[in-house]
Structure 1
C-alpha cells in the first residue's frame, strides 16, 4: 500500500477516534435502557394525572414527581457529563442537558411547576425518539450477528466428529458440513458436492452449486448435499467477519455536519449561559421589566435559545438513512461517507465482476456458409465433447452454452499454444485461437473482425485444419450496470471504467454501457494513480471494485465501495459494501444521500428559525413559558420525525 493510501487509512482511524470523542453523549444516550423508558411512561402518566388535580399542593407535588421520575437521567447527564468532560478537556464543557436542567430549576423557582415538568418530559421524549432512530440502524447489524455461526463439526485424526466453537477453529482444521447446516467458517471443499445459499454474503437469490476445490463462506446455508471442508481463514478474518467489522463502525463515524454541531455545542451552551444574566440585567435596568419579570423572561430565553433541535438535525436522519440502506443490502462504515456521497462528482468502476458478470459467456456461434445443418449438429456435439476434456477457463462458458448437446467419448489432446485436438471418424478436429490456423475463409475473417471489434474473444473450430466455425465469448455487462451508469450521468456525475483488458475490449464494453471514459490496459498499481488524477478534477470521487488489486484505489478514493462478492481485502479497506452485487443499489444510495443532505439542511434552517422566533417574541413580551416549552421542544420532535422519514424508500420520500 502506498504512503498516500496508508495515510488515508490512518485518517479514517483518526476520524473515528475524533468522532467518538465528540459523540460521547450520543453513544451513551441509552438513558438507562428499558428501566428509564418505563420510568418515563410513569412520569408522563403522573403529569397527565396532575392536569385534573385542582388541589394546589398536590398538583405541585405531582408535577415535581413527574419531573424527577421522567427526567432524572437528563439531570444526571447534564451535571455529571459536564463535570467529567470539563475535567478531561480542562475547560468548561457544558451540554444541552445542563441548560435544560437549569431552565427547569428556574421554572420551579418562579412557581411554573407544570412548565418545568413539561419541558423535561418533552426533552426526554425527544431523546427516546432519537434512540429509536439509532435502534433501527442497529437492527440490521443485529440481524447480521444472528447469522454468525457459533458451532462446527470438527473431524479428528481418528475419524470421529466433535462439535466445537467456531472461535476455536484453526487454519487447516477439517470440518464436516451436513445438509441444512450453516457453513461455520471460510474454507475450501475437500470432498462432496452441494448447493449453498450465499445470500447472506453475496445477495444471490439462487443457491450456488459447489464441488471439490470450490471456496465456501462462513454464515452461508448448506443445501441438500453434505461435504468435507478445510478451514482456510481464522474466524476473525472471514468475509462475514470483515462485513461485521465494517458495519460496527457506523455508530462512531458521523458526518462532518454532525461532528461540527457536536463540536460547537459546548461553545453555544456557554454563550447562552453567559448571555442569560446579561439578558436579566438588561431587562431589569434598560427595559424596566422588574426583577420578577426579568427572571421569568430570562428562563424563557434559556428555553428558547437552547440548541435542542439543532443537536438533533443530523444524527437521527443519518442513522435512519443508514438503516434504510442496510435493509437493502448497502452497508456503510458511517455517516461521513454517506454524507460525502451527495457531493459526488466522478465515479470509477472496476470492469470484471463489477460492471460485468465476471464470468465469460458464449455470445455467438457462427458456421461457415458451406456447412450443412446436419454437419452443424455433429460439430456442436464434437465441440462440447472436446471442451469437457479441457481445463481452459473459456471451456466452462462453451460447455454451459452447449449443455443440451449429447456427449461423445473422445480422446482429446491439449497442445500448448495450439488448443484442443481430437480424431473422430477419420477426421482431425481442432479448437484453438485464430493465430493457430492457416486455412481461414474471408467470410470467417470478416466475422472475426466484427466480433473482436466488439470486444469479444474468438475461438476457431476446424476440421482437418480448415476453419468451419467460430465461437465468440465475452464477459457481458450486467443490466443493472447499464441502468446505474445512465442514472449517474443524468446526475452530471462523470463515469470512468478501469480495466486491465486490451483497449479494444475495454472500449467495446464501455460503449455498450455508455461510460464517459475508459481506462484500459491498466496495471493494478496504476488504479490508485487514476483515482488521484480524478480527485484533482472533481470534488468527491468514488471507486467501486471487488478484487485485491482494487484495494489501493478503494483507499485512495474519497468513498471506496466494495462488491459483497469481492475479496475480503477489498471489503476491509472500503467505506461501504454492496451486499447484493447490484449497482442499481448504488444509484439508490446516491438518491438517499441527496435526500439526507436536503433533510439535514431543512432541519438546521427550521431549528434556527424557531430559536430566532422564540427569542424575538420573548423580547417584545409576546411569549410565555408554556408556549416557549411547547414550541421549542415541539420543534425538536419535528426535526427528529423529519429525519425518521429517511427510513422510507426513496420513491416514497418524493411524495
Structure 2
C-alpha cells in the first residue's frame, strides 16, 4: 500500500448599568367615553363655525360646548396632574395640559370662543394620535400576552388524560399536545413527530421539525402531529415567561433623551408661566399694545411656547423602535439600551454558540486509496455509534445511511476507540497516540490543526490509514456581522476558552480585529473592563451561564440564540435566534431611532421659536398659532411612526 497516495475530500462549509428606570408615560383620556366626547366636541365646533355668520350667541355656545366636551379631560388632567405632582414633589410641577388649559380659559376670557374651541379640539386630537401611536407600539410589543398558554392536557400513569390550568402542571409531568394546539410549557418530546411554529419565541416564520428528544417551548403552536412531552420547567420559568418579563420592563425604560425631556417638561412649563406676566406687561409698556391686545398676545405666547411637539419627540419613537425589534425576534429591556447600543465603540463576542454553531462538524476526511473507503467508513461509524464522545455525534451525522457493521469496541483512555474486525485491529484516536504515523499524515494533521480543526486518525493494525478532521464552524451570519461592525467603526474581539491556534483560525475566518484565547469563564468580565478602558463603551455577546458576569459588566449585554435563563435575565437585549444579522438590524435601527428623535426635537424647537417671533412681530393669531403648533406635534408623531416600518432591504 502506498501511504503517500491518499484520497483527500474537503468538505469544509462556507460559512451605568442600571436595569431599572422609574418611568410613567400616561395620557389616559378616559378611554372610549373621552373619544366619543371628543367627536361630540368636533361636531359642536363645526356647528359653531356654521352658526358664526348668522347667530354669534349660539355660535359661542357651540364653541363652549366644544371646549367642554372635547377638552374636559385635558383640563382635568392638566389641573389634576399638576396638583398631584406638585404635592408629591413638594414644589410646583405643571405640565403641558395645564398650559393649554390656561390658554383656553384665557382665550374665552377675552371673548375668542372660536379660537379657544379650535385650540382644545386640535390639541386633544393631537394627543389622541400620540396615544394611538404609543398604544399601537405597546400592543405590538405585548400581543405576546395573548399567546400565554392557559391550559395543559396532562397524562396520568393509568392512561387517563385531563385538561388542567397550566399553573397546576409540575416539572416531570407528562403532557399530550394535540395537533393544532398550543404547547403549554417548556419540555422534551417523549414520543411523536411534528412541526412547531416557534414565531412567538424566535420570530422565525417557518415551522421547525421536532421529534423524540427535542426541546419544545411554551406558547409555540403545534402543527399537524400529536406528541407527548415531559415538563422540564415550571410555567413561571419558561422561555416565554422570561420574554414577558422583558416586555414589561421594556415599556418602563426609555432612552436618556426621552427621560430627560419628561424630567424637563415641568421646569420648562414653570419658566413659561413665570414669564407670562412679563410678556403681558411688555405689551403696553414696550410694544405699545392695548391691554386687550397684550392679553391676546400673551395667550398666543402660551400656545406658541407649549412643548407639545417636544414632549412627543422621543417616547413614541422609542416605543415604535422596541415594537419593531420585538417582531423581528429582538427583545429589548428598554430604550435606554438602544441608545447605548448605537454609542458602542467596541464589541466582544463569545466564540462557541455565538460566532460559531456550537457543535463540531466533519470538515475533511481521507482514506488511503488502496482500501475500500465505504467499508472503512462503515466500520468507523459503527464504532462511533457506541461512543458518547462529542465528536462521535459529528461523525455519525456526517456519514448517514451506512451499512450496519456488528462490532464490539473498547474505549481506552488516551488511545481512543479500538475494535477487532475480520481478524484485524482497528483504532480511532488522536494523532499523538500513534507513534508510527507516516510523514504525509502527520503533515496533513499539522496543517489542519493550524486551521483550528481537531484531527483524529484511523488505523488498521496500528498503521494509520486515514484521518477525519472536525471543527465548530462559524455560523452563517458571523462574517457579515463582523464586517458590518468593523465598517461602523467598532473594535471587534472574540473571546474564547479554546487554544490560541484554534481561536485565531476561527477569528481569521470571520475577520475579527482581535482574538483573546485560553480564557477562563471568570476572566471574561475583566477582559470586558479592559476593553471599556481602552476603547470606551463596550458591548458583549454570549449565550451561556459563564458569560453572565461579562454581560452584566458590559455597557450593553446581548444574550444569543436559545441562551440560558441566566443569560436572558442579565442581558439588555436578547436575540431569540442565534442570528447575528438581528443584532446588525438592532444597531441600525437604534441609529435611525436617534436620528428621528433629534429631527423631532430640532423641528419642535424651531416651530416654537418661529411662532414666538411672529407673535411679538404682531403677525400671529391664535388660530394660526394653534394650527402650526399642533400641526408640528402631529408631524413629530407621524415621523415617529416611521420606526414601526421595516426598511425594504430587510423585508
CA change 1:203–1:282 in 2 (3 A) is: closer
Query: Where does residue 49 of structure 2 map in the other structure?
Result: 51
1:429 aligned to 2:447?
no
* Segment drifting more, 189-198 vs 216-225: 189-198
User: Aligned-pair distance for 1:386?
Assistant: 1.8
Pick from 439, 445, 448: which aligns with 1:442?
A: 439
Query: Where does residue 569 of structure 1 map in the other structure?
Result: 566
Q: Is the 8 A contact 1:203 1:581 kept in 2?
A: no
CA distance, structure 2, for counterparts of residue 178 and residue 624 of structure 1: 68
CA distance, structure 1, for counterparts of residue 106 and residue 252 of structure 2: 35
1:12 aligned to 2:19?
yes
Deviations 1:473-514 (A, max 9, x none): 111111211111111111111111111111111111111000
In the TM superposition, what are the counterparts of 1:465-614 in structure 2 within 5 Å? 465-614=462-611
CA change 1:567–1:318 in 2 (3 A) is: same
In the TM superposition, what are the counterparts of 1:373-388 in structure 2 within 5 Å? 375-388=372-385
User: Aligned-pair distance for 1:329?
Assistant: 1.4
User: Aligned-pair distance for 1:521?
Assistant: 1.1
CA change 1:570–1:456 in 2 (3 A) is: same
CA distance, structure 2, for counterparts of residue 210 and residue 550 of structure 1: 30
Q: Is the 8 A contact 1:564 1:571 kept in 2?
A: no
* Segment drifting more, 243-252 vs 163-172: 163-172
Q: Is the 8 A contact 2:188 2:212 kept in 1?
A: no
> Which structure 2 segments of 5+ residues have no match?
1-15
1:389 aligned to 2:386?
yes
The alignment partner of 2:201 has SS state of coil
The alignment partner of 1:455 has SS state of coil
CA distance, structure 2, for counterparts of residue 542 and residue 446 of structure 1: 40
The alignment partner of 1:394 has SS state of helix
CA distance, structure 2, for counterparts of residue 203 and residue 310 of structure 1: 34
Query: Where does residue 30 of structure 2 map in the other structure?
Result: 32
> Which structure 1 segments of 5+ residues have no match?
1-7
CA change 1:598–1:334 in 2 (3 A) is: same
User: Aligned-pair distance for 1:439?
Assistant: 2.4
Query: Where does residue 123 of structure 1 map in the other structure?
Result: 123
In the TM superposition, what are the counterparts of 1:118-267 in structure 2 within 5 Å? 118-156=118-156, 158-190=158-190, 196-203=196-203, 205=206, 207-212=208-213, 214-223=214-223, 226-267=226-267
In the TM superposition, what are the counterparts of 1:406-425 in structure 2 within 5 Å? 406-425=403-422
User: Aligned-pair distance for 1:194?
Assistant: 5.3
Q: Is the 8 A contact 2:96 2:269 kept in 1?
A: yes
CA distance, structure 2, for counterparts of residue 199 and residue 362 of structure 1: 31
Query: Where does residue 96 of structure 1 map in the other structure?
Result: 96
CA distance, structure 2, for counterparts of residue 136 and residue 427 of structure 1: 72
User: Aligned-pair distance for 1:607?
Assistant: 1.0
CA distance, structure 1, for counterparts of residue 412 and residue 192 of structure 2: 31
User: Aligned-pair distance for 1:471?
Assistant: 0.8
Deviations 1:447-466 (A, max 9, x none): 11111111111111111111
User: Aligned-pair distance for 1:208?
Assistant: 4.1
Deviations 1:548-582 (A, max 9, x none): 11111111111111124111111111111112321
CA change 1:380–1:44 in 2 (3 A) is: same
Query: Where does residue 363 of structure 1 map in the other structure?
Result: 363
CA distance, structure 2, for counterparts of residue 40 and residue 328 of structure 1: 36
Query: Where does residue 306 of structure 2 map in the other structure?
Result: 306
Query: Where does residue 624 of structure 2 map in the other structure?
Result: 627
Q: Is the 8 A contact 1:194 1:211 kept in 2?
A: no
User: Aligned-pair distance for 1:429?
Assistant: 1.6
CA distance, structure 1, for counterparts of residue 58 and residue 628 of structure 2: 27
CA distance, structure 2, for counterparts of residue 88 and residue 387 of structure 1: 71
Q: Is the 8 A contact 2:301 2:615 kept in 1?
A: yes
CA change 1:420–1:652 in 2 (3 A) is: closer
CA change 1:118–1:322 in 2 (3 A) is: same
CA distance, structure 1, for counterparts of residue 326 and residue 210 of structure 2: 27
* Segment drifting more, 428-437 vs 544-553: 428-437
CA distance, structure 1, for counterparts of residue 202 and residue 524 of structure 2: 24
CA change 1:181–1:391 in 2 (3 A) is: farther
Query: Where does residue 64 of structure 2 map in the other structure?
Result: 64
Deviations 1:290-317 (A, max 9, x none): 1100100000110101111111111111
CA distance, structure 1, for counterparts of residue 429 and residue 221 of structure 2: 40
CA change 1:386–1:199 in 2 (3 A) is: farther
User: Aligned-pair distance for 1:12?
Assistant: 1.8
User: Aligned-pair distance for 1:538?
Assistant: 2.8
Q: Is the 8 A contact 1:201 1:564 kept in 2?
A: no
* Segment drifting more, 167-176 vs 454-463: 167-176
Deviations 1:136-181 (A, max 9, x none): 3223333322222111122345443221111122333333334444
User: Aligned-pair distance for 1:289?
Assistant: 0.6
CA distance, structure 2, for counterparts of residue 255 and residue 116 of structure 1: 35
* Segment drifting more, 128-137 vs 250-259: 128-137
1:402 aligned to 2:399?
yes
CA distance, structure 2, for counterparts of residue 199 and residue 628 of structure 1: 48
CA change 1:489–1:236 in 2 (3 A) is: same
Query: Where does residue 5 of structure 1 map in the other structure?
Result: none
